[in-house]
Structure formats: C-alpha cells, structure tokens
Amino acid sequence: MRNNWLRKVENCIESGKNEILIISADLGFGVFEDFEKKFPKNFINCGVSEQNMIGLAAGMALRGKKVFCYSIGNFPTLRCLEQIRNDVCYHQLDVCIVTVGAGFGYGQLGMSHHATEDLSIMRCMPNMSCYIPYDDQNASVITEKILSSKGPSYLRLERISSKKIGKTEEETQFENPKLMTERVGNTVIISCGGITEEAIKLRELLSKTGEVASVFAIQSFEDVNHSDMLKVLSKVDTVISIEENILSGGLGSWLSEIICAYGLGVKLRAFGLEGYFTSIVGDQKYLRKHCGIDATTIFEKLKQNMS
Amino acid sequence: MQKIENTARILSDNIRRHIVQMCHNGQSSHVGSGLSVADIIASIYSIMNIRSEQPTWVGRDYFILSKGHAGAVVYAVLAELNFFSEEKLKDHYRNGSTMSGHVSHVSNPGVEFSTGSLGHGLSVSCGIAKALKVDGLKNRVFCVLSDGEMGEGSNWEAMLFAAHHKLDNLVALIDRNHLQSIGDTEKTLALEPLEVKCKSFGWDTVSVDGHNHKQILDALNDLSSKPKMIICETIKGKGVSYMENSVEWHYKPPNEKELNQALQELGKKITDVEKN
C-alpha cells in the first residue's frame, strides 16, 4: 500500500504539483531514498519529533503547501494529537497524516506499536477525513482522491501489501461503500481496511452452512453517501461489522449511529478489539485470531449465537 | 530608528490601555501576561511588513503568538493598526463573539494562527519559515513565547529543527517575566541558564530588556545567519503598579476601581511619552 501511495504522490509532483511535501518523523528506511533523490525539495526527515512534524506541516500548509506526514500508525496520531486537533483540523489545513502498520501490522513489536485506537480518535476530529484502503489498488484510488482535494485527512495503510481483494482488476473509481462480492442474502458483512479479507473469508464460511451474505468495504466514514449506506442497511436483517480497531468509536460504532439515527430495524453484530491491551507476541494474523477478529473465530461466535 | 522607537512606545501604551479595559469589560484573565508582553509585540509590529487593508497579502511577514493567553494584546495591536475597528475590541470574551481569550484567527483579520495550548507556535513558525525558504522568499517570521512555555518539549524539538535547517528568517522572542502559572519559573521547573541553552541549540541568542523598545528593535534588526532567539527580560503586569510581579493577575480581572487606577497610571505614561 505504501508504495502505491508514494507512486501516486510522485506522479502528481511530476505532473507539476510542486507544492507537495512529504515529512517523515525518521521512519521509512528503504522507502524514501529514491523519492528524496528525485525530489529533494519535496522531502524532509524532521527527526524523531512527531509534535514538531505536525506543527511544521501546519505552518507549511499555511503557505500553500500540501503536506503528507508519515510515520508508523501510533506515532503521528497519538503522540501529537493536540497538534492535529488545534493546528491542522481547527485551521482546516491541507495536511494528510499517513500511517503504516494499521492495527496489528507491527504486531510482534509489542503494544507500543499497535495502531488500534487511531481510527476512532482520528474519526472524531472535526474537519478530518479518514481513509482506510482495503488493498493496494484501493490505496492508489484513495491517494488520488486525497491529492485532488484539500483539507485535513488521515490515510491508514496496511504494513504488508494486501493481495487484491477488490472485485475487478482495474478499479479506478472511488466507491463508498464498495460492494466487494455479489449482492445477495439478508446478511451484510461490512468491513474497513486490510481486514476486509477476513470479511470475505467469513462470507465463504457462512455460505458453506447455507447462510448467504454480501460484503461491503467502507473506505471513509466522512466521505460516504448516506443514501447509499441506507440502501445497504435497509435491505438486510443482519449487519456484521469487522474492524482491526477498538470497538469504541470505530466502524461498529459508526454503523450503530447510522442504524439508530435512521431507526433501522436491523441487528448489528460488531466485531473489533474489545478494549484491552494485548501483551501477547504475534504477527498480524496471529493477533487477529488471538483477539477474536479473524474469520474463523467470528464464524464460531456467530454459530454459537445461532444455535 | 528614533521614529520607529516612538511608534513602538506609543503603540505599547495604547495596547496596555486597551487590554486592561478589555479584561475589565470581559472579566477575563491574563491581564498581567498582556502587560508583560506589550512592548515586545508593539516593537515587532513596528517593523513588520504587513498591510492592514490586505491582511493575507503574500508578501507579508508572519507573527505567531505562541503564548496564546495574551491574545488580547494581538487584538489590541491589530485594532491600533486598523486591521479592524477599536469598537470590535468590545467583543473580547463576549458571549456570541469570535474574540476568545486565547487568540483566534476566525473572523479576526490579521490574526495569523489560533493558539492557546502552549508549545504549538514555534513549530508552526518553523513550518512557515521553512516553506518560505523552499520557495526562495524573504518574508520574516516572528514568534513570541512565554518563559513557562519552555517547559513544553515541542519547543525544543522546533529549536533543533530551526537550527538544523538554518532558518535565518525566523525570530523567536521569549517573554521572560520569571512567573508561570503558579509561581516562580526557577522554583517550578528551572530554565536557567536559558541563554546558554538556546545558544547550545544553535540559535543566535541575545538577552534584552523586554520593556526597552530600542533594545528589542536593535535585536530584531540585527540579522543573523542562524535562527534568532531574543530573551526579553520583563515584568509581569508591567505598567500597573499593583499588578507588577504578581501571579494573581494571571487570573484576576480588574474591577472598576482597579481599572480606573490602572488607566490613570497608564494614561500618565502616554502623557510622558507625548511630552518627549
């Protein structure tokens, strides 16, 4: 995903948009070297100083720059949250915070590197648009959208390049919500980010028991057409949400807000992180299973509930 | 130079009268902080390249008040310089207005950036200064910080950045009144030797009397190849006898009797200036 994002940014600068700047808080070894050589005026490594990075970005955006601030998930979101709120969001500045390592992307590094609350926290920031690509191609589409718009945004990238999970080979349009499978049945599985692959697996597991479902991916909470969401939610009995993020304030919360606001008679089963820290060491897949947000565990829980 | 000094001196005294009145009208806090920093801000605005009729003119110099709690001073100086009317100062702290105690850019022409939480302004100033350099422009950036604010680690992050990137278009001024929220800075979290620390961070650093316009202006005009730090020795509450060096006036607004006494003392100062 990171390469797809960077390639789109490079293309944009090459097309003449020289006001773009990337600031890294000393992360991205092996990622930015070529970019920096090619565009030395468009890249700054500001060192290990996330608060300063966001303040710098705000100042640069005041001067008309479009700034991408890059780091691992937890650092440029939690460490400098007030700079994001006061400096970027309040002033509605053209700053995009780009993180890599969504959820348990850096699982084995331990709790400090788990990006598991960022989505909820960024989502509640006024003026902020959060984008959560589900695969590499989708990261390209979303990056183009960010490049062609202005204002505060958050781009949550997976660490490991996700295999293609979108329906078609060449997806160029931003559709939100995005139908990932055939539209069938009275159950809809809604996910966001790389864990959408687990949503698709869950659909396969359910189909083996005769339960037919469709899968949608949400790529942004703010940039969604509510009437399209209502079409998705009002035609089903059950909504299953899956996210690699804490349940408070994340995808499941967002869906429940819509369901309540519109008085929809639909049952919501929200699967996400339950609000505790995990000290268990594991890679992304291992920790998804450990925390009960992989397709198999969710399937088992749903089966218990059905029986 | 003498003319600019006189301009700064008169501007400072008018700012002082405005802010005691504003803090009385709004029953707002931070009057002591405003009186402390008035001469510094008046001096900066006396040399800044700005256009009141075109607040967002691209060739302008930038002013960021990192100690946003002294926002009344910025509103007052902008009113004095015709960015908006003096009448608008009555909005300060008023329900329904946009003139908050901590300085806000919303609907207040000339306010470059909203602050209030300490430790934000210097990074933003570095960002503006760096972007100006990337674009090969000569505009200058001025940032005013409080001394207590130097407890925020983000300021030291920004200082490292400014020195590393040789931001010689950036001037930071510390309002060194030695009093922070609860008491003496040295008894709270010692800053001294502050000048040595700033120098060691790669800044061209000088200490001046923060109520002496000539000294402030000389330091502002003394260009350097490094980012410049001017440590301004000041007195919190300067100009109003009963407010000087008292933490109480970080919080308390003047009542009517106190306001009248303050205005009388500050009025005398204006008369003194006019005599000169």
pLDDT tens digits for range A252-301: 999 999 999 999 999 999 999 998 899 999 999 999 999 999 999 999 99
Confidence of residue A306 (pLDDT cuts 50, 70, 90): low
pLDDT tens digits for range A222-262: 888 889 999 999 989 999 999 999 999 999 999 999 999 99
Sheet containing A267-273: give its strands across: A178-179, A213-217, A187-191, A238-246, A267-273
Of B105, B114, B124, the CB nearest to A59: B124
A81 vs chain B: nearest CA distance in angstroms?
12
B158 vs chain A: nearest CA distance in angstroms?
6
Residue A230 lies in domain: 178-306
Whole-number pLDDT of residue A156:
98
CATH number at residue A251: 3.40.50.920
Q: What is the pLDDT along chain B (276 residues), one digit of tens a residue?
A: 789 999 999 999 999 999 999 999 999 999 999 999 999 999 999 999 999 999 999 999 999 999 999 999 999 999 999 999 999 999 999 999 999 999 999 999 999 999 999 999 999 999 999 999 999 999 999 999 999 999 999 999 999 999 999 999 999 999 999 999 999 999 999 999 999 999 999 999 999 999 999 999 999 999 999 999 999 999 999 999 999 999 999 999 999 999 999 999 998 554 444 443
B130 interfaces chain A, CB cutoff of 8 Å: yes
Residues of A in contact with B161 (CB under 8 A): 46-47, 49, 52, 56
Q: Cβ B130–A82 below 8 Å, yes or no?
A: no
Can you say whether the dihedral through the CA atoms of B67, B70, B75, B77 is positive or negative? Answer: negative
Q: Cβ B127–A58 below 8 Å, yes or no?
A: yes
Q: Cβ B123–A63 below 8 Å, yes or no?
A: no
C-alpha closest to that of A100 among A199, A198, A221, A5: A5
Given a cut of 80, whether residue A162 has pLDDT beyond it is no
Query: Do A153 and A195 lie in a common domain?
Result: no
Residues of A in contact with B115 (CB under 8 A): 86
CATH number at residue A41: 3.40.50.970
Query: Do A182 and A107 lie in a common domain?
Result: no
B274 vs chain A: nearest CA distance in angstroms?
40
- Residue A110 is assigned to a structural domain of this protein: yes
A72: how many CB neighbours lie within 10 A of its CB? 20
- Residue A162 is assigned to a structural domain of this protein: no
Q: Are A22 and A44 in contact (CB under 8 A)?
A: yes
Residues of A in contact with B112 (CB under 8 A): 62
Confidence of residue A167 (pLDDT cuts 50, 70, 90): confident
pLDDT tens digits for range B185-196: 999 999 999 999
Q: Cβ B154–A51 below 8 Å, yes or no?
A: yes
Q: Cβ B158–A55 below 8 Å, yes or no?
A: yes
Can you say whether the dihedral through the CA atoms of B5, B9, B11, B15 is positive or negative? Answer: positive
- Residue A167 is assigned to a structural domain of this protein: no
- Residue A283 is assigned to a structural domain of this protein: yes
Query: Do A224 and A280 lie in a common domain?
Result: yes
Query: Do A6 and A153 lie in a common domain?
Result: yes
Q: What is the CATH number of domain B2-275?
A: 3.40.50.970
Question: How many folded domains does chain A comprise?
Answer: 2
- Residue A93 is assigned to a structural domain of this protein: yes
Q: Which of B123, B135, B149, B152 to mutate to test the interface with A (most CBs of A within 10 A)?
A: B123
- State mean pLDDT over A41-66: 98
- State mean pLDDT over A176-193: 95
Q: Tell me which of A32-36, A162-166, B74-78, B217-221 is least confident.
A: A162-166
Query: Do A270 and A137 lie in a common domain?
Result: no
Query: Do A198 and A269 lie in a common domain?
Result: yes
Residue B58: which residues within 8 A CB-CB, separation 6 or more? none
Query: Do A136 and A199 lie in a common domain?
Result: no
Whole-number pLDDT of residue B36:
98
- Boundaries of every domain in chain B: 2-275
The string of DSSP codes covering chain B is -HHHHHHHHHHHHHHHHHHHHHHHHHT-S-HHHHHHHHHHHHHHHHH----TTSTT-TT--EEEESSGGGHHHHHHHHHHTTSS-GGGGGGTT-TT-S--SS---TT-TT------STT-HHHHHHHHHHHHHHTT----EEEEEESGGGGSHHHHHHHHHHHHTT-TTEEEEEEE-SB-SSSBHHHHS---SHHHHHHHTT-EEEEEETT-HHHHHHHHHS--SS-EEEEEE--TTTTSGGGTT-GGGGTPPP-HHHHHHHHHHHHHHHHHHHH-
Query: Do A291 and A145 lie in a common domain?
Result: no
Q: Cβ A47–B123 below 8 Å, yes or no?
A: no
- Residue A166 is assigned to a structural domain of this protein: no
Query: Do A230 and A115 lie in a common domain?
Result: no
- Residue A127 is assigned to a structural domain of this protein: yes
Query: Do A17 and A98 lie in a common domain?
Result: yes
CA closest to A43 among chain B residues: B134
Whole-number pLDDT of residue A171:
77
Residues of B in contact with A65 (CB under 8 A): 131, 134
Confidence of residue A166 (pLDDT cuts 50, 70, 90): confident
- State mean pLDDT over A109-129: 96
pLDDT tens digits for range B152-178: 999 999 999 999 999 999 999 999 999
Q: Cβ B161–A56 below 8 Å, yes or no?
A: yes
- Residue A28 is assigned to a structural domain of this protein: yes
Query: Do A151 and A6 lie in a common domain?
Result: yes
Q: Cβ B116–A86 below 8 Å, yes or no?
A: yes
A47 vs chain B: nearest CA distance in angstroms?
8
Q: Cβ A62–B117 below 8 Å, yes or no?
A: no
B59 vs chain A: nearest CA distance in angstroms?
11
Q: Which of B124, B126, B139, B166 to mutate to test the interface with A (most CBs of A within 10 A)?
A: B124
Of A41, A64, A87, the CB nearest to B124: A87
Measured CA distances, A128 to A97, A125, A131 (Å): 10, 6, 10
Query: Do A15 and A151 lie in a common domain?
Result: yes
